Structure 1
Amino acid sequence: MIFFICCSSCNVFRSLRHGGIPSQSDYKHFAQRVIANEAPVYYFHKPIKDSHLGTKIGLVNRDFNGTNVSLDSFTTLHKTISFLIIRNDTIVYERYNKGYTSNSFVSSFSMVKPFVSTLIGIAIDEGKIKSENDLIIDYLPEFKNKIGWDKITIKNLLQHTSGIRFTDNKLNPVSDNAEFYWGDNLREKMLNLKLEYPPNTKFKYSSENTMLLGYIIEKVSGGTISNYLEDKIWKPLGMEAPATWSLDRDDDKAIEKTFCCLQARAIDFAKFGRLYLNGGNWNGKQIVSKRWVELSTHSDPSGNNKHFYNNNWGIGPLKYGSYFAVGLFGQYLYIYPEKKIIIVRFGDAETSYHPNYWQEVFLQIIDQMK
């Protein structure tokens, strides 16, 4: 008990020392694994002429005062550090603020979660995992003696219906979320998790589900999670620069913080979106099965899952077949298949706007694209 208190105090101190709330610069305080790229391939082109995109963005602020602003003004008003709009492999809008450039690393928070679910899909394609319906104890035998854990499936982790107890208050330095983010012993933390209710009972979005998916990837791939990402996605997609993934510690027990903390250029996040826009196919090579892409980007309310979230992708508006990866501070990888559009948006420090706010803005922008 004394050891637990000491460890918790260390994590609280680390959290408070760096400001408590996560920020874009936190990754500099964590150990990292490098995800190498090969010779970059430049699939996105600059337009021949100015598209005059987004000349009128209708905004409603917290006081419900409506106004129209330019897209450039919008990005500045909302502490945007990088904003890309790509259509048919052409960059029709590109903006960086606050000292960021096209070569800068941006740190993903929950926006990384679809990368993890994609690696699960690839492991299924390769036969390393038989099915998303498999029990997690088939791959993580150390959980066999935990009461109730023999009923949790990989699909439960993907859909956040596992029933595992997890507190997720980002402002509370002793919440499970803070312990995972700032902690330095995630393997032990995972083993100490407990059930709150049986699986398939309730949707509860939690970082521990994605952390356990990462642990399964490590087990079935026989290497690090970063290496699997490098071999299966980063190099095959011709990413323009290496990436890094933050670790919980700097020794042989280290593991990636798979619920967050992948650092890369904004354009390389867009390439991941392009992979999904093309049904998992990358210029003739099937990186992840079309089945997995369709499963992940369409609603599946089975097992009390939410109809607007599946395999760590947000779904909707359904009318447009759109889907998105979303993270803290309005991070977005938004895919609009009908018009072949990819939107990448990263921000820092702004917590006051709900994800639906950003989707409404994106749709305004898309509506102005002929």
Structure 2
Amino acid sequence: MGGVLALGMVSVVAQAQLELDPHVAAIGPKSEVPVAIQNARWHMNDGDINTLTFRSMDTLFTTRQVSRSGRVTPLSEANHSLDFDYKFEGKTYSPTDFLDRTFTNALLVMKDGEIVYENYLNHSNPQTHFMGWSMTKSLTSLLVGIALEEGRIKSLDEDITRYLPELKKGAYKGVTIRQVLQMRSGVDYEESYDFESPGIAARNHIQALVKNVVRFVDVAKTIKRAHPPGKVFAYKTIDTAVLGLLVERVSGGSNLAAYMAQHLWEPLGAEADGFFIMDGQPGVGREFSGAGFNAILRDYARVGLLMLNKGRINDKQIVSADWIEESTRPAGDEKGPMDYGYQWWTVSNTPAYSAIGLQGQFIFVDPSTKTVIVKMSYFPPLDKDEAAMRETFSFFEAASKWQPK
């Protein structure tokens, strides 16, 4: 009898698991994505599982490969212990403390083009593909720079709707490519994910990424204006989605992943394929250019090395040095502690800058000390005072000054 009761309880639990989370069910049309996958996507940022989901995106999403090819850019190694301390909020910590205190999955430190420290935690390894989240924005910026140099884009000061006429009915009409790069488009898209009272960004997250019933960039066609273009910095993923659509449109009939493979990933000398998560099936979906790229730790380090070397790697100039300098320069007054260039965060009043992704993903570059640091993390989703972020940059500052012996 007990066994029968137990089986009955299992049946009830199984039935409950087949129910779509009510936050997801309440927004948008019904999706063909299996309910279990929608629920998994809905919870992928949760603090008790994100150490795994952030390196398992190919099991949750349709993906599009960014293929590597040809010679791999070699990375020399001279591994050292991190024999320095750093200070945070009046206390002194060791790098060993840092790894767990800031929810680290993998960490790589490079000095003058040489790997001096590399560590993989929580069952990750050199072949693990880590979700970059908004580090993807910085990669999309590189693709815009390449397209500009190729002449596919004539000028950053052109109205972006010259290339994307389907956006003319919305607030992107009259906005320049430069203003979009600087997150100064002025469009009304608050980067807020309050799912109890969802606004445009929260609804877009559910419909495009969880349910795949719309394309992420589609809201740009009818979006309203909040500020005059160029006047106000406001971080918003829709701006980068529009930049991704721009690159796709000028690529000559290609898609974003193929353009990136040919013009960035192959010339970079990546050692592994990367991939984008998609907002729908092939033929319908697009690469999530604002936050959806995945790669191994060392290939992210090669991106950092490319930046450090002013767009040059493997004896090839992939991106112009002018673009690297321009994109990592603050677009406005340096108010600190972080400012913004062309989809890169700048460390105020220093030459350092960083690609930064949701919940603790970083490619940090300090040209003054020839340091590149890549950190893949699983920050908790609710860190209201950004303690993990602030502590990470305290460590970066110390690591940048560190001189291995």
Deviations 1:169-205 (A, max 9, x none): 2352734334444412125333232222221221110
What's the counterpart of residue 355 of structure 2? 325
Out of 212, 231, 236, the position equivalent to 2:262 is 231
| 1:339 alignment counterpart | 369
The separation in 2 between residues aligned to 1:8 and 1:67, in whole angstroms, is 52
C-alpha separation in 2, matches of 1:245 and 1:332: 17
Bigger mean CA deviation after superposition, 179-188 or 84-93: 179-188
Question: Does the 8 Å CA contact 1:27/1:261 hold for their aligned counterparts?
Answer: no
Change (3 A) 1:52 1:127: same
- The 3 A distance-change label for structure 1 pair 216 and 358 is same
Are 1:191 and 2:215 counterparts?
Answer: no
Contact 2:187 2:225 in 1 (8 A): yes
Query: Which residue number in structure 1 is paired with residue 175 of structure 2?
Result: 152
Residue deviations 1:95-131, cap 9 Å, x none?
A: 1111101111100111111110111111110010001
Match of 1:37 among 58, 68, 77: 68
- What code does the residue aligned with 1:7 have? G
- Say if 2:73 and 2:268, in contact at 8 Å, map to a contact too: no
Q: Select the residue among 337, 362, 369 that pairs with 2:396.
A: 362
Residue 276 in 1 paired to residue 276 in 2? no
**1:247 and 2:278 are equivalent in the alignment:** yes
Q: Is the 8 A contact 1:330 1:350 kept in 2?
A: no
* Aligned ranges 1:16-31 → 2 under 5 Å: 17-20=40-43, 22=45, 23=50, 24=54, 25-31=56-62
User: Aligned-pair distance for 1:15?
Assistant: 6.1
Structure 1 residues 300, 120: CA separation in 2 closer, same or farther (over 3 Å shift)?
same
2:165 to 141, 147, 170: 141
Which residue does 1:164 correspond to in 2?
187
Instruction: List aligned pairs for 1:106-145, cutoff 5 A.
Output: 106-145=130-169
Residue from 93, 110, 113 that aligns with 1:68: 93
SS in 2 for 1:103: coil
**Larger Rg over CA atoms:** 2
Structure 1 letter corresponding to 2:223: L
Separation in structure 1 between the aligned mates of residue 179 and residue 330 of structure 2, nearest angstrom: 15
Specify the SS of the correspondent of 1:142.
helix
Residues 229 and 181 (structure 1), Cα distance of their counterparts in 2 relative to 1, 3 Å cut: farther
SS at match of 1:294: helix
Cα distance in 1 for partners of 2:204, 2:300 equals: 24
Shift of 1:56: 2.2
Contact map agreement 2:268 2:314 (CA 8 A) in 1: no
Residue of structure 1 aligned with 2:297, choices 266, 270, 277: 266
Contact 2:140 2:244 in 1 (8 A): yes
- For the residues of structure 2 that align with 1:80 and 1:245, how far apart are their CA atoms? 22
Equivalent residue number for residue 7 of structure 1: 28
Q: Counterpart of 1:53?
A: 82
Instruction: Give the CA deviation at 1:207.
Output: 0.2
The AA in structure 2 aligned to 1:68 is Y
1:274 CA drift (Å): 0.9
The CA distance in 1 between the partners of 2:313 and 2:128, in whole Å, is 25
Match of 1:160, SS state, is coil
For 2:257 and 2:61, locate their aligned partners in 1 and report how far apart those are by CA, in whole Å.
Answer: 15
Native 8 Å contact 1:53 1:369 kept in 2:
no
Q: CA RMSD in A?
A: 2.5
Write the distance in 2 (CA, Å) between the matches of 1:364 and 1:188. Answer: 43
> How has the CA–CA distance of structure 1 residues 51 and 17 changed in structure 2, closer, same or farther, with 3 Å as cutoff?
closer
Aligned residues: 355
Change (3 A) 1:265 1:165: same
TM-score by length of 2: 0.81
Distance 1:108 1:171 in 2: 22
- After superposition, the C-alpha distances for 1:293-347 in whole angstroms (9 at most, x for unaligned) are 1101112328x9x98201011112433x111111111211000112211000010
Provide the residue aligned with 1:102 in structure 2: 126
Deviation at 1:77, TM superposition (A): 2.7
- What SS class does the counterpart of residue 137 from structure 1 fall into? helix
Compute the displacement of 1:273 (Å).
1.0
Secondary structure at the counterpart of residue 231 of structure 1: helix
Q: Is the 8 A contact 1:329 1:350 kept in 2?
A: yes
2-structure distance, mates of 1:135, 1:243: 31
Q: For residue 213 of structure 1, what is the aligned residue in structure 2?
A: 243
State how far apart, in whole Å, the 1-side matches of 2:161 and 2:82 are. Answer: 51
Corresponding residue for residue 84 of structure 1: 108
Unaligned runs of 5+ in 2: 1-24
CA contact (8 A) 1:33 1:226 kept: yes
| Partner AA of 2:86 in structure 1 | I
Distance in 2 (alpha carbons) for counterparts of 1:132 and 1:217: 13
Change (3 A) 1:314 1:366: same
Shift of 1:349: 3.7
Q: 1:54 to 1:181 in 2, by over 3 A?
A: farther
Equivalent residue number for residue 201 of structure 1: 231
Aligned residues with identical type, % of pairs: 26
SS of 1:93's partner is: strand
Q: Distance in 2 between matches of 1:324 and 1:135?
A: 28
In the alignment, the residues of structure 1 paired with residue 200 and residue 344 of structure 2 have an alpha-carbon distance, to the nearest angstrom, of 22
Q: 1:79 to 1:102 in 2, by over 3 A?
A: same
- Distance apart, 1:359 and its partner CA: 1.6
SS of corresponding position for 2:87:
strand
- Unaligned regions of 5+ residues in structure 1, if any? none
Does the aligned pair in 2 maintain the 1:301–1:307 contact within 8 Å?
Answer: no
